Amino acid sequence: MPLPCEFAVKSIIPAFRALIAKELIEYYRLKQENVAGLLGVTQPAVSQYTRNIRGKTLDLDKIESIRLLAKGLAANLVNNSLSLKEINQNYCAACTTARKKRIICELHKQLDPSFNTEDCDACQTLSC
């Protein structure tokens, strides 16, 4: 059975980065190269985020609190007003929120239809 953090690394983090990348490009009109530098990824990765090729496993845009975290983080990245620790805390907050909303449970069920998500609380007991 994959660990909750494995699901997070493979699904939540890319989906959250995609939200931030889209915000930086659409709202702040930054070029993909600049967004890549702010996010610490490559320009092709940013291109894939904006075209919904990467970070599409989960739709975090439907979760208002995560969407607002992405918007706030994008603004702070543009203003260069956060420390690396604060940036990491934003990613952890997005992950924690997604886990509390049981989004990973839906993904886990898709990967293993026999898994009983109703009785699972693995994600609920974790903290970043």
Please state the pTM of the whole predicted model: 0.87
Report the number of distinct structural domains present in the chain.
1
Average pLDDT, the chain: 88
Q: Is residue 58 part of a domain?
A: yes
Give the whole-angstrom CA distance, residue 92 versus residue 25.
23
Q: Is residue 10 part of a domain?
A: yes
Mean pLDDT of 16-45: 97
Q: Is residue 46 part of a domain?
A: yes
Per-residue pLDDT band for 7 (boundaries 50, 70, 90) equals confident
Residue numbers of the domain that contains 77 = 4-111
Kindly write down the DSSP assignment for every residue of the chain, as one continuous string: ---HHHHIIIIIHHHHHHHHHHHHHHTT---HHHHHHHHTS-HHHHHHHHTTSSS-SS-GGG-HHHHHHHHHHHHHHHHT---HHHHHHHHHHHHHHHHHTTHHHHHHHHH-TTS--SS--TTTT---
Q: Is residue 104 part of a domain?
A: yes
Q: Is residue 28 part of a domain?
A: yes
Predicted pLDDT at 1: 61
Q: Is residue 102 part of a domain?
A: yes
Give the whole-angstrom CA distance, residue 31 versus residue 51.
14
Give the C-alpha distances (Å, rounded to integers) separating 33 from 28, 42, 84.
13, 8, 20
Q: Is residue 63 part of a domain?
A: yes
